[in-house]
A and B are shown apart, each in its own frame.
Chain A
């Protein structure tokens, strides 16, 4: 497997190489489309599935314990369905890795993480134009939030509660 084809992923901890391959012949962990998932799950090894943002979260529920990764396509950065789908997958109990695949921008990093994503797979051109420090900087700009039940720092309602002495 030529290492230079490895995709880099943006994560909270910085850039990370992709362990998964879309190549079917690989012995590495595989990322397969939904229509071949049943087959892939019959084999050994780590399996991830790549889905459109129109797939129903419940459809994957039976496979949760066998799936290491669910990659949700973002056809355009303005198409926000993936955020809701990720949130539903987490609510249904998926604990594996969640990946957003598509032309997201740094300013959406916070939102993606808050909705349950772990990593972002960018098209090469977008990654080149928005170097990694911009992603970390955009995250750092967000220290406070109003919504409860999302994975984001500085929940204002909890802080107010703490200040009232209600812990």
Chain B
């Protein structure tokens, strides 16, 4: 894991001091509220329905035990005892007071964390595959790349007042678990087809929100050493040419769409050609310095299978079900990556209490080389657990109400805060997630249905990724009532697709029944071993329309 050197440390401390001063200038009137706003946003501080909300970055999702314990302390001392993991590998606190925020930022700095650029029209927290360094299908761990971009984008003098927010996601694996195609920039670590050299494929112009788009390839192969100069060129084109007349058209995806990817590519390449790469890029020694922090931990030489593990699994069906749903194959024999679901049946997706954070911290320290991860699916991961330890970890998780065996299943729902917290919401989303989760609570049935990611947003801004849910649910408001639009066939991964709207909106009460019918249609028509998403791809979303129509008809 990356550790701050004295420069990183001093940089973050300076930002805390600066924000303390900005708060003071806001309070004495030197700064008007509209001038203070972008400053607080650049420190992750939003004004929400009921209170301020502080969004803390978990760069590329990686956490140490000490950091989790500090988050727990902040949740207890400055919030109501819990935090909320978001779809961009951040953690949000929903109830801090403005006057306390500089102190909270100080506590974060104590454990090498910050809230820098978690909101505002700047380059946001860089996200990465949550199985980075673990997955067997990986060319290279993407986190050194993410860390380099984190540093480069921090307080960037030229790119801190962009037309709109800018989100970057990176992956080093064949399977895209980081949703790189729905980000402003997605970076895939690839091998050059001819030379075998490791470099980057750069995608641009993906995004969700009111105009969802899948990113396009802007550079098929970028040598690693050219990264920062290329990003500078691309960001400069966007900063100069991105629309500023309409905030709904200000994302880079709109620019790419309006001028076309060829023209966009030509402008970026022209700017890139003018730059003096060696005076901009991080030199190989700096790249190596960062990469060294992400060297593999000291794994033991283990047999691929563990007798104690197999025995526990055979003896305990609950544990077996948990292992089946929540473990992910580790590239090192004898280890597994373990998803800790923050989706208890009927709970608020992504919420975690301070006590639970401490439990995860202890487990990470004891069983996972002091490492945990936050995922964009709003769960946590212990990335390197010996199979022989899984049973002990599971028992500890059971005691902490953290052992829900549903990773990737129909109750592992992504939901944005919605009308319960968010000032922009047009409908509730958490209660919809809770209702669906309760309806499909039966673990046997969940396993029978198999992987089925449901994603819910409380308004068109799509923070809950509904466009790329196998089933997406968008909460709107129609003549004073909540109305939920169902989409089908979305996919955030390497087969990225936006879901199709299935039919007219439903009331909140009707949603669980509609999902039930869609699932029933799937179970009736699936071929053996066919996942929900594959079935929708084969049959087309239209084949599911009548399932929804029936529902509307019944309700009428």
Give the interface of A toward B (CB within 8 A): 77-81, 83-85, 87-88, 91, 105, 107-108, 110-111, 114-115, 129-130, 134, 137-138, 141-150, 152, 156-157, 159-161, 164, 166
In chain B, positions 263-313 with a C-beta closer than 8 Å to chain A are: 274-276, 279-283, 285-286, 289
Bound-state CA distance A166–B288 (Å) is 15
Residues B7 and A149 in contact, CB atoms below 8 Å apart:
no
Chain A residues lying within 8 Å of B29, measured Cβ to Cβ, are: 129
Please provide the 4 A-B residue pairs with the shortest distance between their CB atoms, ordered closest to farther: A80-B161, A114-B157, A111-B157, A156-B7
Q: Tell yes or no: B316 within 8 A of A by CB.
A: no
Chain A residues lying within 8 Å of B157, measured Cβ to Cβ, are: 83, 110-111, 114-115, 145, 147, 150, 152
Bound-state CA distance A32–B457 (Å) is 51
For the complex formed, measure the closest distance between the CB of B433 and the CB atoms of chain A, giving whole angstroms: 35
Chain B residues lying within 8 Å of A107, measured Cβ to Cβ, are: 18, 22, 39
A112's nearest neighbour on chain B, judged by CB, is B157
Q: Of B148-156, B219-227, B339-347, B501-509, which binds chain A?
A: B148-156
Q: Tell yes or no: B11 within 8 A of A by CB.
A: yes
Residues B285 and A166 in contact, CB atoms below 8 Å apart:
yes
Residues B240 and A91 in contact, CB atoms below 8 Å apart:
no
Residues A156 and B30 in contact, CB atoms below 8 Å apart:
no
Chain A residues lying within 8 Å of B155, measured Cβ to Cβ, are: 142, 145-146
Residues A148 and B280 in contact, CB atoms below 8 Å apart:
yes
Given contact pairs A144-B11, A146-B154, A161-B283, A134 touches B30 in the complex (Cβ within 8 A): yes
Residues A141 and B17 in contact, CB atoms below 8 Å apart:
yes
Q: Tell yes or no: B99 within 8 A of A by CB.
A: no
Could you say which of A108, A115, A152 has the most chain B C-beta atoms within 10 Å of its C-beta? A108
Give the interface of B toward A (CB within 8 A): 5, 7-8, 10-11, 14, 17-18, 21-22, 25, 29-32, 35, 38-39, 121, 151-152, 154-162, 228, 232, 236, 239-240, 244, 274-276, 279-283, 285-286, 289
Could you say which of A79, A129, A143, A148 has the most chain B C-beta atoms within 10 Å of its C-beta? A148
Bound-state CA distance A91–B162 (Å) is 20
Residues B240 and A84 in contact, CB atoms below 8 Å apart:
yes
User: Residue A78 contacts which of B8, B38, B158, B239 (CB distance < 8 angstroms)?
Assistant: B38
Chain A residues lying within 8 Å of B154, measured Cβ to Cβ, are: 146
Residues B11 and A80 in contact, CB atoms below 8 Å apart:
no
Bound-state CA distance A24–B160 (Å) is 36
Residues A81 and B240 in contact, CB atoms below 8 Å apart:
yes
For the complex formed, measure the closest distance between the CB of A166 and the CB atoms of chain B, giving whole angstroms: 7
Residues B158 and A83 in contact, CB atoms below 8 Å apart:
yes
Chain B residues lying within 8 Å of A83, measured Cβ to Cβ, are: 157-159, 161, 239
Chain A residues lying within 8 Å of B30, measured Cβ to Cβ, are: 129-130, 134
A87's nearest neighbour on chain B, judged by CB, is B158
For the complex formed, measure the closest distance between the CB of B282 and the CB atoms of chain A, giving whole angstroms: 6
What are 22 inter-chain pairs, A to B, with CB distance below 8 A?
A: A79-B161, A81-B239, A81-B244, A83-B239, A91-B275, A107-B39, A111-B157, A114-B158, A115-B157, A115-B158, A137-B21, A142-B14, A145-B155, A147-B152, A147-B156, A149-B232, A150-B157, A159-B7, A160-B7, A161-B283, A161-B285, A166-B285
Bound-state CA distance A80–B122 (Å) is 10
For the complex formed, measure the closest distance between the CB of B20 and the CB atoms of chain A, giving whole angstroms: 10
Residues B160 and A144 in contact, CB atoms below 8 Å apart:
no
For the complex formed, measure the closest distance between the CB of B104 and the CB atoms of chain A, giving whole angstroms: 19
Chain A residues lying within 8 Å of B35, measured Cβ to Cβ, are: 77, 105
Chain A residues lying within 8 Å of B289, measured Cβ to Cβ, are: 160
A82's nearest neighbour on chain B, judged by CB, is B161
Bound-state CA distance A161–B284 (Å) is 11
User: Residue B18 contacts which of A141, A149, A157 (CB distance < 8 angstroms)?
Assistant: A141
A57's nearest neighbour on chain B, judged by CB, is B240
Bound-state CA distance A115–B66 (Å) is 38
Bound-state CA distance A108–B18 (Å) is 12
Given contact pairs A134-B25, A141-B17, A157-B286, A78 touches B121 in the complex (Cβ within 8 A): yes
For the complex formed, measure the closest distance between the CB of A86 and the CB atoms of chain B, giving whole angstroms: 9
Given contact pairs A107-B39, A111-B160, A157-B286, A84 touches B239 in the complex (Cβ within 8 A): yes
Chain B residues lying within 8 Å of A150, measured Cβ to Cβ, are: 157-158
For the complex formed, measure the closest distance between the CB of B165 and the CB atoms of chain A, giving whole angstroms: 12
Bound-state CA distance A26–B96 (Å) is 56
Residues B280 and A80 in contact, CB atoms below 8 Å apart:
no
User: Residue A156 contacts which of B32, B151, B156, B159 (CB distance < 8 angstroms)?
Assistant: B151
For the complex formed, measure the closest distance between the CB of A60 and the CB atoms of chain B, giving whole angstroms: 15
B238's nearest neighbour on chain A, judged by CB, is A84
Residues A80 and B21 in contact, CB atoms below 8 Å apart:
no
Chain A residues lying within 8 Å of B159, measured Cβ to Cβ, are: 80, 83
